[in-house]
Amino acid sequence: MRRVAAVVLAAALLSSCRTARPVGAPVEPLTATTADQAIEQLRERYASFRGMRSLMRVRATVNGKTQSFRAQLHVQDERHMELTAYTPVGTTALKMKAEGDRITTDPPVAPDAFDFLRDAELTPAETAMLLLGLPPRDGMRIDYAPGGVASASLGAMTVQFEPPSFPAQRVIITSGADRIEITHDEVVREN
């Protein structure tokens, strides 16, 4: 009887700590055969953008310290986004919300932690859109491939997409000695 109770308790704990999957419809990949077609298809996706969510794994090396965690990204539009970072057992470690250039976090994080976003001259939500593989505006320094964005340079920040695809699969962000690797496990669009 105790063994059954222990198994039930363990299952309940594991399911309650599990990171929630994003809700929405699958994002269709591009059908382009050339970089120019990819640019056109990405512009169409941007024009009809109604929000996207991603469940992702993040490995960040900042100021010589490395952390790995799971996170969920929700981008409503080019001005609004939310990021929830999870502990190894699936509980919430950090919630970040951005409205335009204004960023709030729970628990509070020093404002200089987001300097790389300001240096990129994009709102946090625009940066998040780019990390999903969707360029948020024209005039950015971006290299394209038939599958989507191959790389982008924004101020001191460089973003590489491996492979170039929309939605993005693996993204590597570098700024000086800092490096953030993102693997999108599941990306959905809002209906």
Q: Which two tokens stand for residue 103?
A: 């960023």
Q: Where are the alpha helices (DSSP H) in the chain?
A: 2-17, 35-47, 115-119, 124-131
Burial class (CB in 10 A: 0-12, 13-18, 19+), 139: exposed
3-state DSSP assignment of residue 133: coil
On the question of pLDDT at 15 being above 80, the answer is no
Q: Per-residue pLDDT for 13 more than 80?
A: no
For 24, the token pair is 């929405």
Q: How many helices (H) and strands (E) does the chain have?
A: 4, 11
CATH number, domain of 13, equals 2.50.20.10
Specify the pLDDT at position 3: 37
Greatest distance between any 2 Cα atoms in the chain: 66
User: Residue 30: its pLDDT value, please?
Assistant: 97
State pLDDT tens for residues 101-149.
Answer: 999 999 998 877 777 666 778 899 999 999 999 998 877 899 999 999 9
Bridge-based pairing state of the strands 65-77 and 80-86:
antiparallel
- State which residues form the domain around 14: 2-189
Above pLDDT 70, what percent of the chain? 88
Burial of residue 151 (number of CB atoms within 10 Å: 0-12, 13-18, 19+): middle
Residue 19: the pLDDT is 57
Q: Do residues 150 and 144 lie in contact, with contact meaning Cβ atoms separated by under 8 Å?
A: yes
Q: What is the pLDDT of residue 97?
A: 97
What per-residue confidence (pLDDT) applies to 120?
Answer: 73
Domain count, the chain: 1
pLDDT per residue over 36-48, tens digit each? 999 999 999 999 9
Q: What is the mean pLDDT of residues 173-177?
A: 91
